[in-house]
Amino acid sequence: MSWHKNRGRRDGGYHHGNLKEALIQAALDLIAQKGPAGFTFAEAARSAGVSPAAPYRHFRDRDELLASIAQQGFEQFEARLTAAWDDGRPNTPAAFERVGKAYLAFAREQPAYYSAMFESGLPLESNPSLLVASERAFAIIRAAAERLVAMAPPGVPRPPAMMMALHIWSMSHGIASLFGRGDSAGRKLPMTPEDLLEAGVLIYLKGLGFPTDQRPPEH
């Protein structure tokens, strides 16, 4: 459904329930154009084709609108990562590589959501639902890290899974933000973002003493 066609200025043109989605879509469009800090609550209302007072039916202010968008983004992100991880099947290295690709794919295909999730500056402690959604998404990366830790060969110290998860998340986020987004943040690379992430993770694991010669099966 498009909120950009045939939308009038009359609030009565919206049925109960679709005003909220219209505002979210309008805000996503504005985030894609200007970033999460680049528009006002009134601009979101104007872009949705409603009066400046209409958004207050669903959102306390602009931050609550952004928090709703970021929460939706994290929920979609979690679903993508969960499907990619597939509980570690058929083996941990193959599943872990899929998670990395899914991370970069989400940032590339949903740059407005990704920006709202990570660049809006919303305090998570003031948004419990957003905090839960973000933690659930991160839990997929932590679960993958726990499986990787379990693969450590005898004699190799096992690092804390949380530390590994944070390191790998930081690497993934950095590559996604600098090289893997579908917006103006993109920069020229002599390789794909996926190849860059794979190489970075291999170097990281090798530095920890993990075997890195086990390649996932080709599909």
- Topology annotation, domain 11-57: Arc Repressor Mutant, subunit A (1.10.10)
Looking at 3.50.50.60, 1.10.490.10, 3.40.50.620, 1.10.357.10, the CATH number of the domain 63-207 comes to 1.10.357.10
For the stretch 56-106, pLDDT in tens is: 999 999 999 999 999 999 999 999 999 999 999 999 999 999 999 999 999
Say what the pTM is: 0.85
DSSP state of 125: G
For the stretch 114-136, pLDDT in tens is: 999 999 999 888 899 999 999 99
Dihedral angle at the C-alpha atoms of 71, 74, 80, 82, nearest 10 degrees? -110
- Show me where the domains of the chain are located: 11-57, 63-207
The values of phi and psi at residue 9, to 5°, are -85, -5
Residues 6+ apart with CB under 8 A from 61: 41
Spatial separation of the C-alpha atoms in residues 133 and 144, rounded to whole Å: 18
